Structure 1
Amino acid sequence: MASYYNVHSPEKITLSNALIEDSEKFIERFTDYHFGFSYFIYFSSFLRHYMPFIRSKVKYLLKNRDHLFETLDMIIKKRRKEIEEIPMANAFSFLVYYVCHSPHVKQKMIDEIDSVFPPNTSFNLKYDDLLKLEYCDAIINEVGRIMPVGNEIRRYLANPAEVAGYQWEAGTMIHIHINGIHSHKNHWSNPEIFDPDRFYKENDNNEMNDKARHKFSLIPFGGGLRICPGRKLAMIELLSLMVTVFGKYDVDLVDINAPLNTKSGSLTTCGGLPVRIRSRKLPV
């Protein structure tokens, strides 16, 4: 994006020049690779090997292809490692932990899954069907409240502003403590208790009413203009995992008394969660 901005804007970004230059080279290689196909489509093998001008161009295109593929391989390896450490796996691990510690929640969740995706039948995970899992959705929200993967949100003040009753100068970096908000008694009653009914439609508790709660009292995906653009996809992925795992298998913790193994930095990650998985004994 910075490279594209520099091409089209009279004002140039000067930070991270090496990164911008690498990006420009990558785009150039990709463009040359794309348009270089014509040499292999329209010129015979003989011309590509022996016609001086064409031969030199083909050598460049092959060398460019190798550099491009090496770069793509490097990106894939890096992204593969990032994917292995993405918050989705942590969120589902936390969900399994809390659900397995709450048998009544677990049974209610399984009953809802079975009502939408009947046992002993093959099912396709359709978006409209996943939206019917309102109690499962409530579980995800409560897990996100009591054990948020992100620990803080940072906001930069471009202009002087009042925050929490204090005046702050322009250029101040504000660190918003997510867990502090999610466990604050001004927003939640008994915040230390895992209770998905806070978000379930059948509960008359005002906490489940979005209009009654402060709009930023629940921010597992951040908030405002910079709220996570992938939040809806994340919810669908979690619902799909719940259906696939709990709809087909009995899942229990190996040691119900073991504390949740977490590591905290900028994110809270699950260090390990030993579980016992067996096929569900479904009625015939």
Structure 2
Amino acid sequence: MIIDSHQHLWTADYPWLADPALDRIRRDYGVEDLRKNLRAAGVDRTVLVEAGRCDAAETTEFLATAAATPEIAGVVGWASLTDPTLADVIAGHRAGTGGHLLVGIRDQVQGHPDDFLDRPDVRAGLRVVAAAGLVNEVVVRGPQLPSVARAAQALPDSRFVLDHLGKPRVAAGAEGLDEWRTLIAPVAACPNVVAKMSGLVAEADWSHWTVEDLRPFVETAVDMFGGGRLMFGSDWPVCEVAASYTQVRAAFEEILGGTPDDIFTTTAISVYQLEIS
């Protein structure tokens, strides 16, 4: 069984898709699109992740979609970490259709200042998520990685998932690799952080990327985190700015020499506590 730990669904009217550079992915992506790509890539289950709409209704919709879609094994929903009613928001989602499939919460940290995760009210929100038994999922820019390490150290009982290996500047080649290696090392040193090998093609040269561009970032991640703290993620359909779903899976397979059970299956099941039948 192959599990994709990171995929999205959205409609063409999501505000962030208005960027002219995103013309090629500015359309509706629904369950049938997902199923077509899963079949082509030989992927069995996925984790559906909030897609930047940043409202509670999206999470409600995604949980209902997941409940009706056997291929979706879990949902990482959006919620504001600074919402004083966060515990009630989580409880409300769990009480609704598909609520048992809520596995994590992700705020759009990448849109905040670099020290956002250091704020007392944000740390309080991270604790609420952890107390609910959910994963604290973080999508950040490279300069924010030090704050991820600090948050993980301060909250050892929380499970953190780092999206897209912290968005290294793959297109910058060796310079991007050296910069990222320094930033990611303190994060990798935190045993309660698991990282997703996802989103790399979107950080590469969209028109001219190669597997060899991705290889040093993937191999460094394996060295630093180990397979037991890494998960494969397609980042579909964001990946389509640069590559198809099947191309993304094939690239990771080539670099990793196959589909290691931990990276492609068991880490996701363990971290997200997925119920796979």
Give the structure-2-normalised TM-score.
0.23
Q: TM-score, normalised by structure 1?
A: 0.23
